Chains A and B, each alone.
Chain A
């Protein structure tokens, strides 16, 4: 069903027949519903009087509005919550899916009462001994095992910045919710579903293999230092004459080509160095010469010459450089978000349906902008 497409153009978009309601506005729920909105769903934010928490996340525009909120909430409606909105003429009752964060919406009985599809996106899941624990992005990265491998040998391990765990959790919740909505269309599921999406379990995608390797008596070694991870060497981000080069060498062929690129031919055919693991064990021998060789070249030059030789090298762009990289410019990897009179660039949707493309950027609704018209066109 749909409540009110924003425009005629939206009516042909992938999710034009879907209405999604976000009643919590965590980064995770916002990112899950953003993916629906990017492809044309009517996404209704039901916000408390002070607005979703995302409205207070940095960076802030000169107007005082949050750019992070803007990025997460383009092309959505904003409706101010009221008791009557939920219980008398509930927005939720017309939705195909209600997404919520149980930490900030403890009473969801009314959702069960109206038999609606729901997706709870919580830090640790709805069950289990940590289900009522305080969560955070860092806590998830800690428990998932990701953080243990980042940083110097002596520690402390490094906290991944920003809202990465919630982004992964939101993406995973989107997958689960869309899979189950599709199940209803396919006839595989004939009743409303209550999805329990765990941000912790979503982030285990990075570290499950570490647990499996440990079970198989091949545990990962302790933290090996910044930018050093088994079983690959050379691997890392190293300084060149004028910038940072990302290096990954896995196969014998890549190693030979890398040695040729850096004029280190004397290493190329040594049997010991044909194995990635052996190279890692010999890094004390290899690294000084690799660093010296890199310092003689520009990162840009090595990157293009290396890729021509089929070596997976990378420029490691700063945030400033990101906006000028040819590849990203040519693909509109960043698009314009508008809040009031201000605009800024934000990441575009990373997957593109050719026959039914997503929005690229768009406007952001002011708090409660659609409260009066929630059941009609904005």
Chain B
């Protein structure tokens, strides 16, 4: 393996996204070395800093302490611009003129109202790639409907495939759609940048976050299409394999997954858990799965989840412990791979950062800078890059067009 590289060095991305999905899409590009310039305003700051901002929160520098903001905005630069102010809008256009791509996830209608939609941006940069990431896509009757990552999961139908048949359609996460939308957003930008590199042509890219979840629901969607009926839910059982489930282990809320999908694995499991010797071929195992699960549960409850995993993996049986957040910090395999990188940042001190999930070296792609503070790079971008004078920058600060401290919106109403 070679030394880690920063593949996208030299590319400039303007980031008008907020929350989780959009910033994750651009963070992945920043992790690969692109210059990502995040644009907020002092009143319309990234709501991922807080969706319940108060004066006390501002006074306590709360905007700089949000873990969720910090981890999806590392490796980026940050400027503030009031886009409703003519000078703020003009400066954004100047920045866009220098950019390779722009990513946004505003609610439908916001950018057209600011005269900053793709037709306007294309005038200053015909080669611009613009990726728009609304929940339902930028076309169709729901294009302006509001959604969070949870709404995206709801709307995908995926919950109808998860869990036990006698339970409500089951969600998998508080904001499942965000992370998937973010990964697809990265893919969308890269695909359009490849096209631009080859042809010189920029373009608008439309990403529907709900449609990003359809591939994850593909088995159910295909079943419906092929058989004309919704597939049955099986909970943790598998229609074709047994044993297959999540088993209680020694300790509080401790669990391990065990899956036997090959006969050799079954033989190995029998050798380790003698109580299973009375059960035979797959048909019998499927018919008696509950009894078999009880036998396995009796064995797993005597052992920690880690012991269960190690013991079974040693003989080729698929098994894994169920981690929680604290356990992820201490997970030895992730430590072996230096998955978490640690960076100091003002206001919060040392913080863990997950690495990009791909690498070209033993070590992961290095994370070079923590998340920027609000407006941290106003001077570097607005003066050094776009040519404002220092006096002009100060004047804009006095006018509230730029700044480094959040403000409660005038006439504040919750979003």
Contact = CB atoms under 8 A, between A and B. Distances in A.
A174 interface: yes
B304 interface: no
B264 to A, nearest CB: 11
A183 B319 CA distance: 38
Interface string A221-233: 0110011011110
B140 A330 contact: yes
Nearest to A27: B218
Nearest to B68: A209
19 contacts: A17-B198, A35-B187, A125-B337, A129-B333, A130-B313, A139-B318, A150-B172, A151-B163, A155-B253, A161-B162, A162-B216, A172-B358, A178-B187, A193-B5, A194-B360, A212-B325, A219-B325, A350-B208, A353-B195
B8 A246 contact: no
Interface in B163-199: 163-164, 167-174, 176, 179-180, 182-188, 190-195, 197-198
A252 interface: yes
In this complex, the interface size class of chain A, counting residues with CB under 8 Å from chain B, is: 35 or more
A14 B194 contact: yes
A114 to B, nearest CB: 16
Nearest to B182: A205
Instruction: Among A204, A220, A327, find the residue whose CB has the most chain B CB atoms closer than 10 A.
Output: A327
Interface string A297-331: 00000000001001111111111111100111011
A196 B1 contact: yes
Contacts of B319: 134, 139
A66 to B, nearest CB: 9
B333 A130 contact: yes
B141 A326 contact: yes
B25 to A, nearest CB: 10
Interface string B230-267: 11011110000000011110000101110101000000
B168 A345 contact: no
A38 B297 CA distance: 45
A276 B52 contact: yes
B151 interface: yes
A148 B150 contact: no
B357 interface: yes
Contacts of B233: 161
Contact of B205 (A161, A202, A354): A354
B155 A315 contact: yes
Interface in B271-323: 313, 316-323
A172 B357 contact: yes
Interface stretch (A44-52, A83-91, A236-244): A236-244
A142 interface: yes
B207 interface: yes
A308 B331 CA distance: 46
Contacts of B52: 251-252, 274-276
Given A229-B174, A347-B211, A353-B192, A326 B140 contact: yes
A157 B188 CA distance: 33
B98 interface: no
